[in-house]
A and B are shown apart, each in its own frame.
Chain A
């Protein structure tokens, strides 16, 4: 059994300094480190502070050109055993920086990876953003958010219940990491997900020549093959 440390990547979209979003993420990370250590595993934590990626964001959004910081972030997430994703809520939604960052990533970068979703806000009225919006984003990415969502508005910081929820989410994350789910998906069923050439952070470079399109490219014919876009052929 491997005893390599877990690789935990923290993505924080907080923009102030100090930032409560980053503070929440750090508390969650600490709790994950503690929980992992109780089960005899070390954890290596890498933090991606999205503020630092801001100068590279316009190019990434408009031309898919990833600058060096983005490249490092993608590499870290590609290697991660689990992710903590923490954002402030603005105008009833996860921050634009947070959403933009995950929209730029390849669709298959985070498949099967356990994620703790966390958000901060100035009012408890934003509480459902984590479950109604962030969970959908990570569902699209085929990541595996833990059942316990974390949300901290101003009053939560004085409440022990937040610490309880943090520890619960951390425990769930460690269980999912320990199960090896993400690794097994990569080893056993990775091909069943849609990939494009160079996706998954540039690692998806196998070309399957046993497809209708590849046979067509090599002088074959589509006649007799199913047309996925033709409603008459369903």
Chain B
């Protein structure tokens, strides 16, 4: 079971001090938070993608490559990468590059994005968000698996003889999660490809996620990737931890009350009761988190939202200490003890995927053919590619 942190990358005024960090401060802070995530013994750091203030994370692969360079074990990932407004060709290139630089310590989560104005900024139409997400991933999937792609779809310019470079590390594509909270089509796509499915598990009562996760597991089995229990499920969640329940509530309340994500609607106690939010002592956070497994079955990745709502860096780092020292070790032990042996303990790592593809053979290391003088290498771009057409001898 992997545990980690996910950040939305919001730059929010601290309602207690009144201070709004600059973009520079927040970007420095997020790097410290990611490093701390590894230091306290967690496994994963995830960053969101946004293209409007007050968020800073428009270029997740740049940030994640930097974090990967500063860490040793940490898996870097996204929460989420916009599969709707990004060109799937650019995603194939950027994330393959990240995969090389991080030596495979990465994966990515695809989402549609919920900010309507972003779509027209990138020449798209939000009414077609779901169509875009599905079609774009179909292309991305092929770009990482076929050296030369001919493709035509509804949205993007057609491709003829296109090679996405660099090829994935060891010619093994990054593991992909599909994030969704209410769309069966996304669960269907995750199941069809045997990819992971992630429910952000933040806002709605758990019944909403339960249904989609169940559907994903059923379809994963239908498409022959294994049993429903072997499907790869990830969940979000959010917690604020202090020594005692009273302290946690007192410290978090001003942040909760002013956080835009909570819509200034429900009281914190109601929100705790109706959603996965846990505010309390380490034991209370442990107990609440253990209910996720009961609701959704054995799952492989738990991400906590802790860096948000204007919480100052110092508090976030303290939260990570508490999480790493008092919460996650207990959760690891308890969840491992409860896990059905049929369910995977972890999502597949790069090493697992290499092993699955090559067994004990050495992985493929594509080396390109020489430039023909026209800046392309033609239909057989790599030295080990099948020749596109038979080369007849010349006189």
Residues of chain A having any CB pair with chain B under 8 Å: 56, 58-59, 61-67, 196-198, 202, 205, 207, 209, 213-214, 216-223, 225, 227, 229
A56 to B271, CA, bound (A): 11
Q: Is the CB of A219 within 8 A of B192?
A: yes
Given the interface pairs A59-B265, A217-B134, A222-B154, the reply to whether A64 lies near B204 with Cβ below 8 Å is yes
Q: Is the CB of B266 within 8 A of A59?
A: yes
CB distance from A219 to the nearest CB of B (A): 6
Which residues B291-345 have CB closer than 8 A to chain A? none
A216 to B135, CA, bound (A): 7
Q: Is the CB of A65 within 8 A of B266?
A: yes
Which of the segments B81-89, B106-114, B208-216 contacts the partner chain? Answer: B208-216
CB distance from B129 to the nearest CB of A (A): 11
Given the interface pairs A59-B270, A213-B134, the reply to whether A218 lies near B184 with Cβ below 8 Å is no
Q: Does B125 contact A (CB under 8 A)?
A: yes
Residues of chain B having any CB pair with chain A under 8 Å: 125, 127-128, 130-131, 134-135, 138, 141, 152-154, 182-186, 188-189, 192-193, 203-205, 207-208, 211-212, 215, 223, 262-266, 270-271, 274-275
A112 to B264, CA, bound (A): 35
Number of A-B pairs, beta carbon distance below 8 Å: 97
Q: Is the CB of B204 within 8 A of A213?
A: no
A220 to B127, CA, bound (A): 20
Q: Is the CB of B152 within 8 A of A218?
A: no
A228 to B130, CA, bound (A): 13
Q: Is the CB of A218 within 8 A of B192?
A: yes
Q: Is the CB of B188 within 8 A of A62?
A: no
Cross-interface CB contact of B138 among A58, A205, A213, A216, cutoff 8 Å? A216
CB distance from B155 to the nearest CB of A (A): 8
CB distance from B84 to the nearest CB of A (A): 13
A196 to B274, CA, bound (A): 22
Q: Is the CB of A67 within 8 A of B192?
A: no
Seed contacts A62-B265, A67-B270; 11 additional CB < 8 Å A-B pairs: A58-B264, A59-B274, A197-B212, A207-B215, A216-B131, A216-B138, A217-B188, A218-B188, A219-B192, A222-B154, A227-B154
Identify the closest chain A residue to B207 (Cβ).
A202
Q: Which 6 A-B pairs have the closest CB atoms?
A: A62-B265, A62-B263, A59-B266, A217-B189, A222-B154, A217-B188
Identify the closest chain A residue to B190 (Cβ).
A217
Cross-interface CB contact of A61 among B185, B212, B265, cutoff 8 Å? B265
CB distance from A72 to the nearest CB of B (A): 14
CB distance from A213 to the nearest CB of B (A): 5
A56 to B192, CA, bound (A): 39
Which residues of A have CB within 8 Å of B204? 63-65
Cross-interface CB contact of B203 among A61, A63, A67, A222, cutoff 8 Å? A63
Q: Is the CB of A198 within 8 A of B211?
A: yes
Identify the closest chain A residue to B158 (Cβ).
A223
CB distance from A146 to the nearest CB of B (A): 34
A26 to B203, CA, bound (A): 37
A64 to B154, CA, bound (A): 34
Cross-interface CB contact of B271 among A65, A196, A216, cutoff 8 Å? A65
CB distance from A209 to the nearest CB of B (A): 7
| 5 A-B residue pairings within 8 Å (CB atoms) | A64-B204, A198-B211, A209-B188, A218-B188, A219-B193
Q: Is the CB of A62 within 8 A of B264?
A: yes
A78 to B306, CA, bound (A): 38
Which residues of A have CB within 8 Å of B203? 63-65
Cross-interface CB contact of B211 among A205, A216, A217, cutoff 8 Å? A205
Q: Is the CB of A229 within 8 A of B125?
A: yes
Which residues of A have CB within 8 Å of B184? 197, 207, 214
Considering residues A64, A196, A197, A225, which has the most beta carbons from chain B within 10 angstroms of its beta carbon?
A197
A222 to B207, CA, bound (A): 32
CB distance from A16 to the nearest CB of B (A): 26
Given the interface pairs A67-B274, A205-B211, the reply to whether A216 lies near B262 with Cβ below 8 Å is no
Cross-interface CB contact of A59 among B211, B212, B223, B271, cutoff 8 Å? B271
Cross-interface CB contact of B182 among A63, A196, A220, cutoff 8 Å? A196
Considering residues B193, B212, B223, B270, which has the most beta carbons from chain A within 10 angstroms of its beta carbon?
B270
Q: Is the CB of B275 within 8 A of A65?
A: yes
A59 to B262, CA, bound (A): 9
Q: Is the CB of B185 within 8 A of A214?
A: yes
CB distance from B186 to the nearest CB of A (A): 7
Which residues of B have CB within 8 Å of A66? 205
